[in-house]
Each structure stands twice: as C-alpha cells, then as structure tokens.
A and B are shown apart, each in its own frame.
Chain A
Amino acid sequence: MKAIQSKYWTWIILSICIGGIIFIPLLFVLEGFTLSGSTSAEIAEKQRNINHLKEYVIPEMIYTTLRMIFGVSFVSLLLGVIPAYLLSNYRFPLSNFLRKFNILPLTIPTYIMGFVYASIFSVTGTFTKIALFFFTPEQIFSWDINVITEGWLMVFLGFSLYPYVYSSCLLHFSEKNKSLDEAASTLGVSPVKRFLSVSLPLAVPSILGGVSLVVMEVINDYGAMSYFNVKTFTAGIFQAKQMNFSGSLYLSALLFVVVTFVFSTLFFIRSIRRVKQSNSGLTQLKFVSRKNGIFFSLICFLPFFLGFIVPVFQLVYLASNNFSALWSSSILIIFFNALQIALIAAILIVFFAVVMHYNRYLNRSKFANFLANVSTLGYAIPGAVIGVSVIAFIYTLDSSGGWYQWTINGLVLLVFAYVIRFFAVGYNTTESIFNQVSSQLPDASRTLGKGALFTFLKVYFPSVRFGLLTTLAVVTIDVLKELPLTLILQPFNFETLATKAYKKAKVAESVADAAPYALLLILSGILVTLLFMRSDKKI
C-alpha cells in the first residue's frame, strides 16, 4: 500500500497550475477596492460617485437582488420539486417522455425567455391577438395586463431555470430515499405525509444544490433585468460604469466578496445537512390509478409546457415572417463559430476537471479539495466582470500588449474566460461520475506497481468516458448560451448565435427579428444534448 500513500507530485503540480490559471484572474476583480486617479480632484470625484452609489443605489440594489433570488428560487422549487418526485416514484401516461424533456427549458437563455413572454403579453402581442377573436379591444385593454414587472420576471426566469432544481431532485428521489420511504410506507403513513415529512426533508441538500445554480443564473442575467427594469447587482454595475469606471469596479469587487461569502455559507450548510444513505438498488416505479395518472401527468407537463412549448411556439410564430434570414451563408459560419469555440472550451474544461478529480483521488488531502473548490468560484461572477478581469490579467503578464493582441485575435482569451466561468459546471458534473467509480480497481492497479498515468489511462478512463461525453454536452450548451463574456472578448468580425440573437433583439427593441437566431440556438442546444448524451450502458 505504500505506493498509494506516497505523493504524486506531477499531478499536484498540474492541478496547482490549472487551479492558478482559473483562480488568479478572478483576483483582479478586487482591484476595484483601490481608488485610482491621477489628480486629487479626480479621486474626489470618484469618491463622490461611490458615495452616491452607496446612498441611492446599493441598498435598493441589494434588496432587489435578494427579492429576485428568493422569487425565482421559489418559482423554480414550485415547478421543479413535485414533478421530480412524481416522475421518480410513479409510472403514468407520458411519464417517460416528461422525465427526459423537462430538462429542455435550459436550452433557452434567460433573456430570450423574458423577451418572449413579454412579447406574448404585450398590448399588441399574441395574447391580445387570440383574445380578439372573442372580445373587443376595449374589453381586452380594460383587463390591464402588464407582465413587464418584477413579479412576472421572477415567474418567467423560473420557467427557464426550474430544470436545475428538477434535475437535482430527480436524481435524489430516484436513488436515495427509497429505504426510509418504504419503511414509512410499511408503517402506514399516507403518501402525501410521507412526501412532506420523509422525502422532502432528506432532499434539502439536493434542492439547495439546484437552487444555488438558479441563484447564480439570476445574479448573472442582465438582458431580461434591464428590459423589465429590475435593478439587481448587475444593473448596478452597469450604472456605475456609466458614471465612471472605478465605481463599477468597486461594485464588482463588492459582489465578488458577497458571492464568495454567501456560497461558502450555503455549501457549509449543505455539507452538514447531508445524510448518508445506502442505495437500495434499482428504482421501482409504482403504477397509479387512471385518474391520478392523468392528474400527475398534467402537473409534470405544466412546467415543460410553460418553459419550453410556449416560448418555442411563440418564437416560431415570430420567426415565420422572418425565416429567410436563416438562408444566408453567414448563418452557417456563425453556427460553426459558435459550436467550434464552445467545443474547444468544453473539451478543455472537461480535461481540467478530470485532472483535478484524479489528483483528489491520488493525493487525498484537504489541499487538493481546496484547490478544486476555489477554481469553481467563477460561475458566480457575472460574465462581464470576468471579461474585464481577464484583460487586466493578460496585461499584467505582458504590459506591451503583444500577448493581448495575439490571444484576443486567436480567440484564446475568450476560451480562457469561458474556462474560468464554466469550470464549476464541468467539475461538478464530472464529480458525480467519479464518485460512481469505486477506488478499488485503480488502487489494485497501483498496488501492482503500475504508474499513476497508466492506471488512469487503462483503468480509470474507460469507466468514466461516457460520463465525460455528457459533461461535454452540458458545458457546451452553457457556453453556446453565453453572452456578456463573448461580447467583451470577441475579435473583429466575430459572431455567435447568442450574440447575433441579442443584437437583433436589441437593435429593434423587439424579439421578432431575433427569433430565427434564438430558435437556431435552442436547436443547437438540443442537438448537442442528443449527440453527446451518454449511451445507456451502465458504468
């Protein structure tokens, strides 16, 4: 066993390099706390602006951000938890279909979701058009429908983000709660009470995991928030940028500190709430009565309907006048640009994640865990902030700007920023795969004198490769949707589907022109899912 306990320095150093590459640029956010300026008058002006922000903007902004976080999380819980429970315990009409397809709303970026729903319920929107068949315009307008409000935005963002909660709960309910649930069932506890008093409390860590992803997406959204005029942290940063640059850096730095604190707390709570349970093996789905079955499928269909079918149909309707836009040759270039860069980033992320995990297996130390954890912080920082930090970072390495020009034109900087932002996604997805691999086989391999690399290639890798393809799909979809980083770090004459859709929506202040591109973006998300999804072969 001696071989196993000794340190594997190559892997440690490799991990430190990766962790450093990902984490160090983030530290450049913190330069916002220093006040720069050439004259004392400039510094005084900046200080006045920061004081104004502190008095009029920051308090309101913090409340709004918290309200949005709680509101969207609540909607996501409402739409995600119950369907996940039903779908993992019962068999009813459409249950197989719904179990898979409730994940698809994730392919729709949050800002598209916001725009689309606003366009449906606008005064001249689809809703009015349908209602006109039955009512007069005066009647319809007297209902005073206005969805461009903070409350409705919570709902619409929830439509787009509930799959995070749904998927984490589904996995939990499918694999973890059977033994206790069955015990309660034997004792004659009613199904509803079993759900509330046994399954739900046990699911809290998983639910929090899903919710934390929702929270991060809410913090990062700018497009929908600005249209709905909801001033969260990201909007605050934007306003500070309008006033002067250092104020915005100040806010970004503040956000970085707050986010780090909030998420460390959240994950600390999760780690103490976690209950270790043994797996009771294969899931047995229970059949339900016909009446309940229809009721259950309605409940599980509703989120999918609201989060995917409605927006996609509205986009198809809006695009119907405009599909000719897709017949240009440039669309193919844009499509492949987007796919190419997303794949490069995703492959790098998966590779880095694997090294980190393998290092954790080889050198079972607190340091290895710490290294992995700080590298995942980027996911909570708004893209635009990461973009600026990355530029600052590269200029620190080479102040002549030569490296900068080279990296930005060669898309290296953009890929680098994607890696920083989405490493968490890759790392956590691969984590569950690596957790499924028992350490006995690689241990045996190494005890027999095989090296770490050999063991990895011959023993470890074969058992995880299908899972890695899934990770690749998940990360690729996230990168495809990414907007702020791409906008700030794009080279000349560069477009992705996300930037094209955004620009079209922005310029006309209407989502109609963007619809064809948004549909193509959603389609490529689905395509990537289908291409890379893991084959059904069990590990």
Chain B
Amino acid sequence: MVELKFNQTLYLYSKFDIMKKIYFASIFALAGLFLSSCLATDKPNKSENQVNEEEKIVNIYTDRHYDVDTELYKQFEAETGIKVNAVEGKTQELLERLEKEGDNSKADIYFTADIARLFQAKDAGFFQASSSEKLNKNIPSHLRGVEGSWYGLTKRARVIVYSNERVKPEMLTTYEDLANERWKGKIAVRSGSNVYNQSLLASIIASNGEETAQNWAEGVVKNMYQSPSGNDRDQVKAIYAGKADLAIVNTYYVGKLLSSDDELERKAGESISIFYPNQSDRGAHVNVSGVGIVKSAPNKENAMKLIEFLSSEVAQIKLAEANFEYPVNPSVKASDMVASWGAFKEDTVALSKIGQLNTAAIKVFDRAGWK
C-alpha cells in the first residue's frame, strides 16, 4: 500500500561524501561496539521464571521518573540486600500491561503519581489486600485504601495561587468562588484531560454533587483568560506576565519555580503567593503519589518491606524534599520551603472516593467544554 519514505532520502545520503576507508573502519568499529554491548547486556530477570520468595528482588512498575526514587531504591538495596528492578513507563500503558499480563505479571508494586490512577488499578482488580502495623502507623487512614489495597507516599495540595500585585488574599475564599463572574478573564488553568484537575473536580463532585460541579466547571471555563494549554508552570508564568490573576496549580510547582537555576523562573515564582482554599469548610484538596501491591506479586514480602521503607522517616524526608511535597508520615516535618507556605486544613474525604469519581469528572469536563 505504501510506497513512501525516503526512496528519496537515498538520493540525499548518496550525496554525502566520505572516504571509503573511514567508512569501513567505522562500520567495523560499530560492529565491535555492538557485539560487546550485546555481551555486556544486563539481564536482571534471568532467574525470574521460577517464582521464588527466597529471591532477593522486588519488581516495580512506576510512572514516576524522579531521581530520588532511584536513590531510595539503591539505599533500600544497600540496607536489605533486596534488588529493586523497575519498569519506568507511562501511566496508562503500564496499566494496560498489567491487564494483559494478568496473573503472569512479574510486577510486585505499581507506583503512580495520582489517586485516580491508583484507584483505577484497584478498581480493575490489579491490587491485593495487605496489612502492616508499620504502615498503619506511618500513613494516616484517609491516605491509604481500605484493607491496605494502596498506600499514599507523598502528598501535594492543589491550590489557588494569586498575583501579589493585583490580588489581595482577602478576595479569595473557596474553589467554588472561582466560578464567580468577578474573575472573568482572570483565571489560568491547564487542560481538563490532566489528572490533577480531574481529581480536584472529583473532590468538588464528592462534596457538592455532580450538578453543582457541572455549573462550577462551566463558570470557570467562562472565567479563563484563554483556552487551557501548557502545564502548571505555564499557568504561574501567565500570572507573572500579567495575563491572568489567579491560577490553579499543585504546590510543588511553586517550589520548583522558586528554586530554579533560571532567574526569570524564580521571578515568576516570587510574583505569586499560595492560597489554601476552603479553610472554613472541607479544606484544600490534597492528592497523593502512592503504591499498591500487585495481585500476582511473586515477591510480596519484599514489596511490603520496600513500601515500609518508603514510608519510614528517612525516606519520607527525602521524598518530600526532592519534590517540594508534604510527607504523609505525620512524624516527619515538611522541608523549610514547604513549611514556609504555612499549615492548612486539608480535605479529608477518602481518596478512594476521589478515585471512584474520576470517570464522572472526565465527563463533566467534556460537557462543560473545559478542553
């Protein structure tokens, strides 16, 4: 069917001149490198076909790509001798892979950056129940699933940030207020296909019902300064450039801007302040990065050990600091910068509920025209 690609390119390549000797030498060199790299390839899962609890490994599917995760895995390895193998992929693709693999999956842990995805995995029956006194102590109950089906490990709030120049914090109250006409053309927010927005909307549905949430979403769409695009950083920058006055962002992006190597990015971060909404009622919406133990986990005990390690004080400090998030472990203090944003009341609706309402939230966004 397809007669295409590069019949043409041939012609171009043929025009590059190169001495024949260099050419062949390079081919041989490359072949050599190629062979040696074949021989040197790390084959971590060679012995994995025998399911064996004695084996000192734990396998993770993760959509988080933070360097700190890898550092912590190494530390865990050094402390326990259990090797951590990771497949770092995209959220939905990993879920699909889990689905297709079914009971044959070698994955022990699924680690993902939003409650909606954790719940999606749980709902699809990918996780197994578990219990651990340590985890029950380290993680507050609203940040973990019933029967230990999943555990939150880092926490972030999705908040309102406002222009220091043009907005007084007294003018702000709740998420619901963002639909008010007086913010017309003033709000910057990213796409409705973004899972952080979906979880925020799910929290509004959980609190006010779907119809009110629908009206809210429509109201916010009318107040946007432009059709949504870009990421959370871009929304803050829009305030810095004077295009918008308010933005809905995750707290850690503010930390990232403030600690950037780039002077202009720091200025953008300094031009705004964080406002925690709904402090007089349910509290600000929080979300977690978290893990669940896969149903068919061949190394369940090791998986449990790793999760316990990640919820321990040592690991929590590192996890929270690296990404300007809040530790879930109540005995660990937030980093200085995060602490400087002040304490706040958080929405303690069970996160499972938020996960459950994800599909409803997606549909509300579609109907409201929140692109």
Contacts and interface: CB of A to CB of B under 8 A. Distances in A.
A56 B106 contact: no
A424 B14 CA distance: 21
B86 A492 contact: yes
A409 interface: yes
Interface in A316-351: 321, 333, 336-337, 339-340, 343
A57 interface: yes
Contacts of A508: 256
If over half of A's interface residues share one DSSP class (helix, strand or loop), that class is named, otherwise mixed; here it is helix
Given A229-B230, A507-B66, A490 B1 contact: no
Contact of A404 (B1, B8, B101): B101
Contacts of B264: 123-124, 128-129
B219 to A, nearest CB: 19
B193 A509 contact: no
A487 B104 contact: no
Contacts of A529: 13, 16
A530 B16 contact: yes
A210 B14 CA distance: 19
Contacts of B97: 391, 488
Contacts of A339: 33-34, 37
A122 interface: yes
A167 interface: yes
Interface in B1-58: 1-18, 20, 23, 26-27, 30, 33-34, 37-38, 40-46, 48-49
Interface string B180-191: 000000000011
Interface string B308-342: 00000000000000000000000000000000000
B85 interface: yes
A209 interface: yes
A60 B229 CA distance: 17
Interface stretch (A68-76, A263-271, A285-293, A443-451): A263-271
Interface string A513-536: 000000000000000011111111
Interface in A370-389: 373-374, 376-377, 379-380, 384, 387-388
Nearest to B266: A124
Interface stretch (B74-82, B132-140, B235-243): B235-243
A401 B106 CA distance: 11
Interface string B355-371: 00011001100110001
B218 interface: no
A474 B231 contact: no
Contacts of B2: 212, 263, 267, 373, 376-377, 379-380, 424, 427-428
A443 to B, nearest CB: 23
A305 B64 CA distance: 35
A405 B104 contact: yes
A123 B12 contact: no
A55 B45 CA distance: 46
Contact of A171 (B7, B43, B240): B7
Interface stretch (B88-96, B146-154, B171-179, B277-285): B88-96
Nearest to B226: A146
A388 B12 contact: no
Given A376-B2, A492-B86, A507-B66, A392 B11 contact: no
- Size range of the interface on B? 35 or more
Contact of B262 (A124, A229, A239): A124
A235 B92 CA distance: 12
Contacts, number: 282
A528 B13 CA distance: 11
Given A401-B104, A433-B10, A470-B13, A507 B1 contact: no
Interface string A220-257: 00000011110100010011011111001000000000
A408 B237 CA distance: 43
A167 B7 CA distance: 8
B92 A238 contact: yes
Nearest to B198: A242
A424 B65 contact: no
A488 B89 contact: yes
B8 A401 contact: no
10 contacts: A122-B234, A141-B242, A175-B11, A209-B5, A231-B193, A239-B362, A270-B3, A401-B102, A470-B13, A533-B16
Given A491-B44, A503-B88, 17 more contacts: A123-B241, A124-B262, A124-B268, A141-B243, A168-B8, A172-B8, A209-B4, A213-B5, A229-B190, A391-B101, A429-B5, A471-B10, A488-B94, A492-B44, A492-B59, A495-B88, A506-B65
Interface of A: 49, 52, 56-57, 96, 99-100, 103, 118, 122-124, 128-129, 138, 141, 144, 146, 148-149, 164, 167-172, 174-175, 206, 209-210, 212-213, 226-229, 231, 235, 238-239, 241-245, 248, 263-264, 267, 270, 321, 333, 336-337, 339-340, 343, 373-374, 376-377, 379-380, 384, 387-388, 391-392, 395, 400-402, 404-406, 409, 424-425, 427-429, 431-433, 467, 470-471, 473-474, 484, 487-488, 490-495, 499, 503-504, 506-510, 512, 529-536
